[in-house]
Amino acid sequence: MTPSSISWQKITLQLRSPFGLSYGISDTRVAYLIRLANDEGLGEGTIPPYYGIEPDSMTAFWDAAGEKNEPFPDDVEQIDGWIGAEGPPPARCALSLALHDRIARRKKKTLHKLLELPTPTSLSTSYTIGLDSPEEMARVASQTSGFPILKLKLGSDGDLDRFMAVRQVRPDAELYVDANAGWTREVAVKNVRAMGDYGLALAEQPVSKDDIEGLGWVQSRVGVPVVADESLQSLADVDVLAAAGVTGVNVKLMKLGGLGPALTAIRRARELGLRIMLGCMVETSLGVTAMAHLAGLADWLDLDPPFLISNDPIDGLTYDDEARIHLPNRPGIGARLRGEIGGD
């Protein structure tokens, strides 16, 4: 075994259209891809700016990891210990993905088989429509006939009008809403009840991430599942959210720090009777494909970034005409670079 070596590259993901949510609007996102020595494993670290994580802290973490005088782990059980618990979660996630990818490739196993997970089910992903005017959101929705599930970004004045505009053009769709912590408790209950009369299927993070009691307060007053996203940042949050009374949690690799922590959170959530959404940031098909290997553990999937970005540098999972996910038949994560990427 030789000492570890890690390289990283920053890329700018171009969104197909400006993407709005309660935190603001953007037409690009920054992602980082990492490679282990000899291209033995690929990883990704991507986080939106509103999480407050400095990119320099991530790259410094990878640089330090690349200088460790330790070989890469050869066993899955050694990965989290090799990475440590101190770095930024998306930086740890990138290493987690790359190290899992390396081991699975060497053993000629797919990631889910390496982890002894259920065969990923071909669930349909939701398709996200960014926060915009009712007219623009309806226009986008009218072009989504191949997606049976739509997730609407809300969290501003006039949200009921947005919901109704989309419902009018997609009466057949299963609709989720995600306020990204943008509502008060009272507004959340009012909106969810009104939308529930027109087939709302799920409400994600209706109130502030710190108002965990408020999530349960809303859940106790509405008839659709309330799913926590921003309020789930660590394993400890799973117990707190279950005690508050939410129906489910949105598990993301980037915010929890990789596959090991995500699987631990999922298993604990199941023990506590919570339902599971597998989500992601706006990231490349590398991170999305890795998460798709966990689909056998999920109730809902929100894995749509390949539809949202125009310059995805990764060839990974695919989707059928009902937006159901299908994994590549390759060892490891199964994601491969399309070619050399243009960096920043």
Mean pLDDT, residues 203-220: 98
* 6-109 has CATH 3.30.390.10 classification: yes
The model's pTM is 0.94
pLDDT tens-digit series, residues 237-283: 999 999 999 999 999 999 999 999 999 999 999 999 999 999 999 99
- Could you tell me the sign of the dihedral formed by the alpha carbons of 149, 153, 159, 165, in that order? negative
| Residues 193 and 203: beta-carbon distance below 8 Å | no
Distance CA 111, CA 290 (A): 8
- Any residues with CB less than 8 A from the CB of 287 and at least 6 apart, and which? 44, 46, 93, 97, 253, 254, 280, 281
Tokens of 306: 């390949």
The CB-side HSE value for 304 (13 A sphere, CA atoms) comes to: 25
| Residues 238 and 206: beta-carbon distance below 8 Å | no
Residues of the chain with CATH 3.30.390.10: 6-109
pLDDT tens-digit series, residues 43-82: 999 988 888 899 999 999 999 999 998 999 999 999 999 9
Residues of the chain with CATH 3.20.20.120: 127-337
CA dist 183 to 14, 52, 202, 204, 231, Å? 29, 21, 15, 11, 14
- 80 by DSSP, 3-state: which? helix
CATH number of the structural domain 127-337: 3.20.20.120
